[in-house]
Amino acid sequence: MDHQTFAQLLGNYGEFAGAIAVVVTLAYLGIQIRQNTESLRIASELALSQQSAEFIAHMRAQPDVLKLWDLAVTDPASLSSDDIRQYRWAISELFTIYEGHYHVYKRGFIAEEAWQSKANLMRGMLANPIVAEWWASGLAPFSVEFVRYIESMQSPEGWTYQAVAPAAVPAGRSDSPTGA
């Protein structure tokens, strides 16, 4: 084998090794991107859960608001105009939070089942006459995409509001974590 043939053979082996290195590098980068995307999804879901928890904590810290919330659902006719205004502000805050969640969901950073629980809550809330009137007024500055999504939703069959105020514990059931 002469020198030129040997050099060409080494060049071919080098190209082959380089091609293998490129494939291995691309596979490694693909795995890293997938892991990074999953990390972003988890971080997004945790951040959005924290945002929802802060809303709940804010509501829980105000017993009069909790009573108002329950009355708005169970007996809306009993509310004064000031009560209705306060309830609408709470609803506006919640829908604003969920609009942010919706946009993150649409970009693929929230799992379908995590988003659907929020969508179901909004569907049920829109069945409330106070919420429906507030939504129809168009006063809240939501994005066109979110408004279209909300308006395309159908009311869930059998959805019922769960009161925030403590209720009697049904017979045979206990609120203790052990069930005792």
Confidence (pLDDT) at 36: 80
- Buried/exposed 109-140: b ≥16 CB within 10 Å, e otherwise: bbeeeebeebbebbbbbbebebbeebbeeeeb
Task: State the average pLDDT over residues 141-157.
Answer: 84
Task: State the average pLDDT over residues 127-137.
Answer: 91
Residue 114 or 154, more confident: 114
pLDDT in tens, 87-124: 999 999 999 999 999 999 999 888 888 888 888 888 88
Phi, psi (deg, nearest 5) at residue 6: -65, -40
pTM reported for the whole predicted model: 0.68
Residue 71 or 162, more confident: 71
At residue 175, does pLDDT exceed 60? no
Confidence (pLDDT) at 78: 92
